Structure 1
């Protein structure tokens, strides 16, 4: 005869099985609805092989798309000799000779006589960005600011691109490099289009020296964006995220789509993890900044008062200084949460760039 097993053993086995099944169901459900924090996306792998050199400001203009051909008038009906055409189908007048095409618009327009020329390039294809996009670039900054007292640290911005794909990474560390007490990574990735940057995903991760990392993600869908809360909102064309906005500004000024002049206001939808804004930057004027490369002239952009009045819930506001001699890339950034909490990032060393990845990059030679 078999010895009967104690009832509590059977009960424990059933409870363990239920717990295991419940955990697995919850894991699958979390995977379906993405309730849990998503991991940060992997970085693009790019080799930085040379230092960037200052150049005279150049505005690289993109060739306009040719207009759509006009429909040709209908040909007259052919009739037999001596027969008149039908009254309902009159013979059209002979087609006029085509007008001569105007000379092509120059591709590059120098801001000064000393500026190097920019060679013509074909319109960007679906696989290759146009020559107006900067090469992959790494910028390193010295960080100062205030967070419950004066703080110091370091920051780095990487603009990375492969074909028509891009990634922008902004890494900030507050405190000593060997043990920062706050680190934050902001990452944007998406596509390069004829209308500029088109983000597809934005992620940010904040890590305190004690405690778990906090993550938030935004996904850009056709005509709408999914915020960190999971809420979906309609979004207008040309929307940017917290990291892509700086390179979009670079592209707008580098291509001449927005002129750099004091008082100019540049606007686009700005989608942050909690909400979106109709954002506006005002061009305040040009200033000279002291950098490791020597004095650098840069244009100072700051959010308008109307834009700042919208901000709530701890969202960050950024000022930026763009240097025309460094391909309009940001040489200084000031990011504020409020008047007492901010970081000031000033270019610390010479920017590094990757080699051209295709023949489309070769004509520019702005960084050589």
Structure 2
């Protein structure tokens, strides 16, 4: 997609926001970010995990579509005995290249929804159709799915410079909290799709109950994740690796 073409705890933690996966991120951080994706992307992953001490296998799919400055992103995970969990982020891309989510839903046994009202700089948290909380919405706030794409856009711009750090607000049940990430270097990452050259991006942990997040962002995937690893202080773990290279891109 060319610029003009268009909680974090497991259990729900057992699912770890493997579907994760917000401080304020200055707009200037994103102003130089090149948006590398075509209008449509579909990435399939194999998932291995551990929930409540029990290992499991699953599959997931990450989808992205953008048109006329509007985007939709969907992450769907299917696990035996657990069922399906779907996260969906919908919103717009502003003229600085920043994603502005308008609505984020997290659907498993229950639906959890965040409604972002940028004009009022407020968000609303709704569970099963019942509004439960409202709070401040800092500039640059991402939901736990748009986060992947915003980081990818940032990494695409920063990677030629080597190591770099960024902080941005991420919306969860505790409100918008600052999450910091560091681009640590380039390495090969093993996936079922083969070994891929990737940039390693790690979340900087600040509290014992923060979910650790490591992403391997592959230039071959235009800086979308070839691998995504999430771990928390209770021993839950989700390791999501690219199953196959996408056959074609729009």
| TM-score for the superposition, normalised by structure 2 | 0.77
Q: 1:285 to 1:131 in 2, by over 3 A?
A: closer
Match of 2:124 in 1: 226
Q: Per the alignment, do residues 275 and 304 of structure 1 end up closer, same or farther by CA in structure 2, a change over 3 Å counting?
A: same
Instruction: Check conservation: 1:145, 1:341, Cα contact below 8 A.
Output: yes
Mapped contact 2:141–2:171 kept (Cα < 8 A) = yes
Query: Is the alpha carbon distance of 1:131 and 1:352 closer, same or farther for their aligned partners in structure 2, counting shifts above 3 Å?
Result: farther
How far is the alpha carbon of 1:133 from its aligned partner?
Answer: 4.0
CA distance in 1, matches of 2:183, 2:35: 22
1:142 correspondence with 2:46: yes
3-state DSSP class of the match of 1:346? strand
Maintained 8 Å contact 1:166/1:189: yes
Q: Quick one: which of 173, 177, 182 aligns to 2:78?
A: 173
Q: Distance in 1 between matches of 2:106 and 2:247?
A: 24
Provide the rounded CA distance (Å) in 2 between the counterparts of 1:322 and 1:260: 13
Is the contact made by 2:184 and 2:200 (CA closer than 8 Å) also made in structure 1?
Answer: yes
Q: CA RMSD in A?
A: 2.5
- Find the counterpart in structure 2 of residue 186 from structure 1: 87
Relative contact order, higher structure (CA 8 A, sep 6+): 2
Aligned to 2:171: 271
Larger radius of gyration: 1
Identify unmatched segments of 5+ residues in structure 1: 1-59, 61-120, 207-212, 356-368
> Is the contact made by 1:250 and 1:329 (CA closer than 8 Å) also made in structure 2?
yes
Distance 1:320 1:131, change over 3 A: closer
Q: Find the partner of 2:67 among 135, 139, 162.
A: 162
CA 1:133–1:298 in structure 2 vs 1: closer, same or farther (change >3 Å)?
closer
**Is the strand fraction higher in 1 or 2?**
2
Give the superposition deviation at 1:134.
Answer: 0.5
Match of 1:244 in 2: 146
5+ residue gaps, structure 2, are: 7-32
Q: Is the 8 A contact 2:218 2:224 kept in 1?
A: yes
